[in-house]
Amino acid sequence: MKHIVVLTGAGMSAESGIKTFRDADGLWEGHDVMAVATPEGFQRNPELVLNFYNERRKQLKEVQPNQAHKDLALLEINYKVSIITQNVDDLHERAGSSNVIHLHGELRKIRSTKNENDIKVWTEDIHLGDNCESGYQLRPHIVWFGEAVPMIDKAVEICQQADILVIIGTSMQVYPAAGLLDFAPVETPIYYIDPKPAMDKNGKIHVIAKSATEGVKTLLQILD
Ligand code: APR
């Protein structure tokens, strides 16, 4: 079985109704990204940050996987599929993909502010005063700007084993995620699905300038 590695960003979930980051002038759902997605922002105003992610977690219960999530899950019939997502939603899993790595954390999990390895599934709100078993405040299990990306080594290893690499709905601006495609073997074809593609690497990438749902359909025809 050929191994397809799929790297997804916010555009993957746009057609499910979750806003992307950079289509909104540095504002994320009306908030300054630096206020809600940095350790400094959390220190300054923990309640604001907890509430922000509480809202995102609630939103997750109202949205559904789109056709592109579902089509990627069906690829598992004929391929070994690894999904590496920058998204913190669980739409790939809910569409049926069985092998998903979250580079930037997961909305449905929390962790201790003291111990980044003390992680638990948590589907409700987090409030100030909600503590881990050792008595430290809980925070969302999200990788904020300036924090280490614990899953990056695993992601690099997977990209090195790709027979086909597919990139969907990402502006390729945030490292180390944006550097992952450079780890694919030179002979591995790379497809990039995005209505406003941010790169073509001098024609080395097969750009499919479409939305995720339309673009994945086109990809399936190409792979057929
Ligand atoms: N289908 C596919 N792609 C789309 C769609 C769509 N329907 N709508 C928008 N896009 C594309 C945009 O053209 C853009 O290239 O999705 C991309 C979204 O880019 P960003 O908003 O920058 O999101 P992303 O690349 O995932 O951001 C990376 O930055 O803020 C951090 O941690 C956050 O994981 C995030 C990271």
More confident residue, 28 or 43: 43
Report the pLDDT value the prediction gives residue 24, as an integer from 0 to 100: 66
Residue 194 scores a pLDDT above 90 = yes
Distance 215 CA to ligand 1 centre (A): 15
Q: Which of 16-30, 111-125, 144-158 has the lowest mean pLDDT?
A: 16-30
- Residue nearest atom 34 of ligand 1, based on CA coordinates: 86
Tokens 């950079």 locate to: 22
For the chain, the straight-line distance linking the first and the last C-alpha, in angstroms and rounded, comes to 14
pLDDT band at 168 (very low <50, low <70, confident <90, very high): very high
- Please state, in angstroms and rounded to a whole number, the distance separating the CA atoms of residues 132 and 130: 7
Report the pLDDT value the prediction gives residue 30, as an integer from 0 to 100: 80
* 19-62+106-142: CATH architecture: 2-Layer Sandwich (3.30)
Residue 145 scores a pLDDT above 70 = yes
Give me 192's structure tokens: 């990039």
Q: Is 14 close to ligand 1, i.e. is its CB under 6 Å away? A: yes
What mean pLDDT do residues 3-10 have?
98
- Please state, in angstroms and rounded to a whole number, the distance separating the CA atoms of residues 193 and 215: 6
- Residue nearest atom 35 of ligand 1, based on CA coordinates: 86
- Cis peptide before 189, with omega less than 30 degrees from 0? no
Mutational pocket test of ligand 1: of 28, 171, 173, the residue with most ligand atoms within 8 Å of the beta carbon = 171
User: Is 67 in a helix, a strand, or coil?
Assistant: helix
What mean pLDDT do residues 167-189 have?
95
pLDDT tens for 72-86 read 999 999 999 999 999
- Please state, in angstroms and rounded to a whole number, the distance separating the CA atoms of residues 117 and 95: 27
What mean pLDDT do residues 2-17 have?
97
**Nearest atom (ligand 1) to Cα of 177:** 28
**Nearest atom (ligand 1) to Cα of 169:** 3
Contacts of residue 129, defined as CB under 8 A and 6 or more positions apart, other chains included, come to 137
Distance 87 CA to ligand 1 centre (A): 9
Q: Would you please indicate which residues are annotated as catalytic (active-site) residues?
A: 104
**Nearest atom (ligand 1) to Cα of 68:** 1
- For the 1-17+65-104+148-224 domain, the top CATH level (class) is alpha beta
Report the pLDDT value the prediction gives residue 23, as an integer from 0 to 100: 73
pLDDT tens for 93-132 read 999 999 999 999 999 999 999 999 999 999 999 999 999 9
Task: Give the rounded percent of residues in the chain with a pLDDT score beyond 90.
Answer: 88
Residue 139 scores a pLDDT above 90 = yes
Q: Where are the domains of the chain?
A: 1-17+65-104+148-224, 19-62+106-142
Residue 28 scores a pLDDT above 80 = no
Distances in Å between the Cα of 43 and the Cα atoms of 26, 38, 151, 208 are 21, 9, 24, 42
- H helices within the chain, ranges in order? 11-14, 33-36, 39-44, 46-60, 67-74, 91-95, 152-160, 212-223
Enumerate the β-bridge partners of residue 191. Answer: 166, 206
Mutational pocket test of ligand 1: of 13, 19, 21, the residue with most ligand atoms within 8 Å of the beta carbon = 21
pLDDT band at 25 (very low <50, low <70, confident <90, very high): low
